[in-house]
Chain A
Amino acid sequence: MVDMELTAAATAFLNEEAALLDDHLLDGWLGLLCNDVRYVMPSTAIMPAEAADARERRNALRWGSFGDDDRDMHFWLYDEDYSSLNMRVRRLDTGMAHAELPESMTNHVVSNVIAGQDPLDSELIRVRSKFMVHVVRHENNENTFVGSRWDKLRRTDDGLRLAWRYIELAHPVLPRTISIFF
């Protein structure tokens, strides 16, 4: 499913997005999201190897094949739509959000990008990527978040926009609480 041209376009999009996040230009970042965006991050657990059907279901979840089904109720780390992401940005804007005062120094490094046409929707492309986000707070509180993303980017008149993001962190125990975006 790898498409070189789409991979180049997706890489450019993800790099632009990472620059906005690292520069704390969060309204600009919101501008890269579709109004109907879904942005989710499950909690990670160390579990025995999954049976084939469970593995298949997890893969389907990663590409967004779930909605309000009761089976999918989960204690998410992120379970966002545009309204809730906007709320998070507005909170940081109050000037009273201690967790980001001073703003964390972040470096989003994005790699291993694989993109291809979405098989179900001609407007969407599917993009897998890896990331490392290095976070520094104060003098010497440094942590690195590592993980994978399953994104769907929508072709619009204004260019590519994020319609779906599923984030899996590679941290059974998170190194710190989270006040940044991935």
Chain B
Amino acid sequence: MQRMADYISVDDGLVDCEVYSAAVYERELESVFGRSWLFLGHEGQLVRRGDYVTTWMGETPVIVLRSMDDVVRAYLNTCATRQVTLLPYDAGHAEVIVCPAHRLGHDTTGSPVSGQAVEPGHECLVPVARVETYGKLIFGCLSDDSPTLRESLGDATWYLDNYLLRENIGGLQLVPGVQRYTMPGNWKLLAENFAGDDYHVAITHASVLAVRAQGIEPRLNNSPGKGVGANLSVATGFQTGVPHGFLEVRIGEEFFEHDLMRAQSIGPEAAEWVRTRRDAVDQNLPDLAVKPYSFHVANLFPTLSIIGNGTSMEAVGLLVWHPRGPHQTSVTQLCLVDAGAPPALQRQMVWALTHQQSAAGVFAPDDHENFERLAENTRTFEARRVPFNYEMGLSGEGVDVRPPEWQDPRWPGLVLPRFTEMIQRDFYRYWRSLMDR
């Protein structure tokens, strides 16, 4: 196969449709999904010892569990002898995992407990090479020799610690109910849409902005509107590491004031929580003269996207893009709320995520339409002659837009204009390096 460098010209912002082809897909399952840290779930899904969930790493089914010795572990959800699926449920409780074909059983630490004796090293249950958690987010990696999770997250941890996980005020709590749905389109298009495409929002989702402006549903009223504060994008790992993108990084008192006003309509406890949440950031970062209030959307390379995080009025959606062939993606979406928030505010948070960025929300189906309209078209011969264009902001490549008074080495990341395709260019740069490795 040709090198991906022949298909992706980062300097020109051009990406050949070939990178969405079946041939490339087969290789990226190994080169990208076999080497990257992939999101497996949230510790809130594994409360008791023996609790498990099943998910995928790329197309590979896996089991994620809290073992009886209280360690978060992951195994392939297939037996090593015949590739039979071991656990057929989305979630459950198991103290022994028994293969339904030949009844080889293993305990939750991976030791054989029943069935025909096998030679050491021929166990039926195959562990995922590495499993690590970061703030109750569970990640796995199928390779032994790629960078650690911390190295892969890089400067993204600053945004996660201060603006997502908020462990100093109780952290996030998982809301029961996992949404799973099918989206058309190559997984990369969905991931980089969350990583770097704030430009589509006002166009693709114009109907939502219009209905918000009508004011007929106050629970949907997420942001203080146009011309307020600063709304920026941030790239971490830019040109040096694993690329993560953060969108709608909000700076300005107006965002807090708007949340506070809305919380007051729910009740004094809700308003108090909005203050607590803001104060927690100030306590973490006491010496920064100017600091973000929040970020709303993000993608952690390759396939964990985050949404709903920009306001205290909406729950956090964690979306995982599981590839299902070159032109289809299966989405797993979790919903999390601030564990310390009062119940009335938690309910507003869940309501807002359900009604906006979820399978039957008012945003996701419009994105679905875009991807449905483009997925098949990338297959045509003519499409191969017209590369995807990611040249927005090319002249400002690598330039941080913070004014001098905002500059501070303790605020990491490359701060970018809201509308740029720099993050997407960096996404494809890094993807290319994995493929051509």
Contacts and interface: CB of A to CB of B under 8 A. Distances in A.
**Binding site of A, secondary structure by majority: helix, strand, loop or mixed?**
loop
Interface in B161-193: 175-184
B211 A75 contact: no
Given A43-B177, A46-B88, A83-B217, A77 B182 contact: no
Tell which of A68, A76, A94 has the most Cβ of chain B within 10 Å: A76
A177 B210 contact: no
A137 B365 CA distance: 12
B362 A91 contact: yes
B178 A177 contact: no
A73 interface: yes
A133 B196 CA distance: 35
B172 to A, nearest CB: 13
A90 B216 contact: yes
B259 to A, nearest CB: 21
Contacts of B176: 73-75
B14 interface: no
B208 A91 contact: yes
Interface string A90-101: 111011111111
B353 interface: yes
Interface residues of A, number: 43
Contact of B346 (A41, A73, A79, A101): A73
A75 to B, nearest CB: 3
A86 B216 CA distance: 9
A92 to B, nearest CB: 8
A141 B328 CA distance: 13
Interface in A127-174: 137-138, 141, 172-174
Contact of B207 (A73, A91, A175): A91
Contact of B369 (A47, A68, A99): A99
Interface of B: 88-93, 175-184, 204, 206-208, 210-211, 214, 216-217, 219-220, 315, 330, 333-335, 343, 346-347, 350-351, 353-355, 358-360, 362, 364-370, 372-373
Given A43-B177, A94-B210, 4 more contacts: A74-B175, A76-B177, A83-B216, A172-B90
Interface of A: 41-43, 45-48, 68, 70, 73-79, 83-84, 86-88, 90-92, 94-101, 137-138, 141, 172-179
Shortest 7 CB-CB contacts between residues of A and residues of B: A75-B177, A99-B365, A178-B360, A75-B335, A174-B181, A179-B365, A87-B217
